[in-house]
Structure formats: C-alpha cells, structure tokens
Amino acid sequence: MAAGNIFWDIHNAIWDLLEAKAAFTDQIKAGNRIKFTGADREPPKQFASNADFPQVMVWNAGITAIDRAASNATTITVQWEVLVHSGEQPCDPFFDVQWAVFVALINWDDTMTAIEWDGGNPVRNCDILKARDTLLGSRHATQGPPFHQNIRGWGSVWVGKSDCWFSHSALQVVL
C-alpha cells in the first residue's frame, strides 16, 4: 500500500467502521469478512459451505474526478460497495446483517474525516446511496453480487460514496 493513497485509506476506513460495531462483529465471523487486500489472489471461495456465511466483502467501485472543481481544488468522489450474502433464504438473519451494516456505515463522520493527506483532511462527505437486495441463486435474481453458485440466500450490494477535496497544487507535486 502506497503511503498517502486515498483509495486505500477509504477502503480501510470502511472496514474500520464495520468492525468497530458489535452489531457487525457479532453477526459476521472474522473469517467471513472477505478482504481483497491480502496476498490471496482469489479471496472468495469458489464453493462454500454454510459455515462460510453470512459473508461481507468491501471494494472500490470506481471514481469520478473533477480537475479544478474550484479555482484551487480538485475533487475525487470514490464510490465503494459493501456486499452482503446471508447464505440463507429466510429473511431473519439477512435483516440482522443489513441492520449491522447500516448502523456501522452511518457513523462515518469521525472515521472518514480523520483520514489525513498532505496535512489536511480531504474527506468532506460520505453517503450511503442505496442498497439493492436480491434472492441469490434463484432464477429471478437478474442482478446481484458475484457470489457462490452453490449457496442460495439473500444478498445485497450497499453502494456508497466518499467525496474528497485536494489542493490542486499539492496533487501536482505527488511523486
């Protein structure tokens, strides 16, 4: 991870938000928090068992940059996704995980605004944009997260964004 890389910082902050809440850690075992930041080239198992659920993944889903959004500033909006898979068809356990994700992400203020870059705090806003739920593995699930083919259950993709402002001149001197 490169020091001062806002993409890593936001990704790690999302995991920090989730893992800071007992509502989340009580629902999702550490081994079922799938992180794409390690040496494992393919973190999700191709074939999973019931013990592998519920499961949560976090990843960067794109950026929008506006060069000189103000006379001296450039903005980047980092879009991210939190993917949830319950591994079960009843809604009860799925709703518990959904609630845990929501209450964790809504507490973004202190964690995200504490991210530092070039002596400042570039993250100015963080929003949950939407969450789309689907019954994965059913023939009606036309859209949904890329989960295991052998386990049916409820899945959700939480889409959010973090808005960052940077001094344009400071960005120009990044090595």
**In the chain, how many domains are there?**
1
Q: Is 122 a domain residue?
A: yes
Write the pLDDT tens digit of every residue in 31-47: 999 887 766 655 666 66
Q: Bigger pLDDT: 39 or 15?
A: 15
Q: What is the pLDDT of residue 46?
A: 65
Whether residue 49 is contained in a domain is answered as yes
So what's the pLDDT on residue 91?
87
pLDDT digits (tens, 9 = 90+) for 137-151: 644 444 445 555 567
Position 49 pLDDT exceeds 50: yes
Would you say residue 1 lies in a domain?
Answer: no
Whether 111 has a pLDDT exceeding 60, the answer reads yes
Tokens of 81: 């996704």
Contacts of range 110-114, beta carbons closer than 8 Å, 24 or more positions apart: 111/13, 111/16, 111/17, 111/20, 112/10, 112/13, 112/162
Average pLDDT rounded to a whole number, residues 88-104: 91
Residue 154 lies in a domain: yes
- This prediction has a pTM of 0.86
Tens digits of residue pLDDT in 59-94: 999 999 999 888 889 999 999 999 998 888 888 889
User: Residue 70 is part of which domain span?
Assistant: 6-37+45-172
**What is the pLDDT at residue 139?**
46
Phi, psi angle pair for 67, to nearest 5°: -70, 125
Domain harbouring 16, CATH code: 3.30.70.1700
